[in-house]
Chain A
Amino acid sequence: AQSVTQLGSHVSVSEGALVLLRCNYSSSVPPYLFWYVQYPNQGLQLLLKYTSAATLVKGINGFEAEFKKSETSFHLTKPSAHMSDAAEYFCAVSNAGNMLTFGGGTRLMVKP
């Protein structure tokens, strides 16, 4: 079975500060890992994904995530937060099959 844990259901940062959203996963096989973002009243859209190529993955809007197998982590970072980054972020894990398992989500708030 696979699972995802996102530490912190709410994260608040100041505009211009570092964004760090934490994700830990468990999977019995090498995983595929995703970060999705959900803006208010919208569906989810892909930020970035890891599929066993480079461990540091760059996504849209300046976000990136690093796959660390030894820590079973896939934390999402952005050097400098912007007001438009306020949204809910979901980490998800998939394997070679058809199950995509989501974490509980982290709501990012950006203060002016």
Chain B
Amino acid sequence: EAQVTQNPRYLITVTGKKLTVTCSQNMNHEYMSWYRQDPGLGLRQIYYSMNVEVTDKGDVPEGYKVSRKEKRNFPLILESPSPNQTSLYFCASRYSHTLKGSSGANVLTFGAGSRLTVL
């Protein structure tokens, strides 16, 4: 089954304790992205990656790091979590290429989400 898998699904941690949220996709997608979802704000992009070893900042990158060493994996790293990073996080992926038009029309496949609480 084609899917994006995130782990952990739920995590409670304390301020300053480094954590990593893993994301893996089995669709051979070039493009991967991380979003955070907060009430009333919709989804905001944290980082995205066009392909292996290519990453770029989204709208809210502060306090986060990412890496893309393999095509299928795109972990999100919080080096020193703070309470304002309490949120619901989603990883998503899609193809970068397209037969016509542009890749902006390609549909994202989302993971089930990771709910993070930082105390």
Contact = CB atoms under 8 A, between A and B. Distances in A.
A94 B44 CA distance: 13
B75 interface: no
B40 A104 contact: yes
Interface string B22-41: 00000000010101000011
Interface in B1-39: 4, 31, 33, 35
Interface of B: 4, 31, 33, 35, 40-45, 48, 50, 56, 58, 90, 92, 101-105, 107-108, 110-113
A49 B107 contact: yes
A21 to B, nearest CB: 13
A104 B112 contact: no
Contact of B31 (A46, A52, A96, A98): A98
A61 interface: no
Contacts of A95: 102, 104
Contacts of A52: 101
B42 A43 contact: no
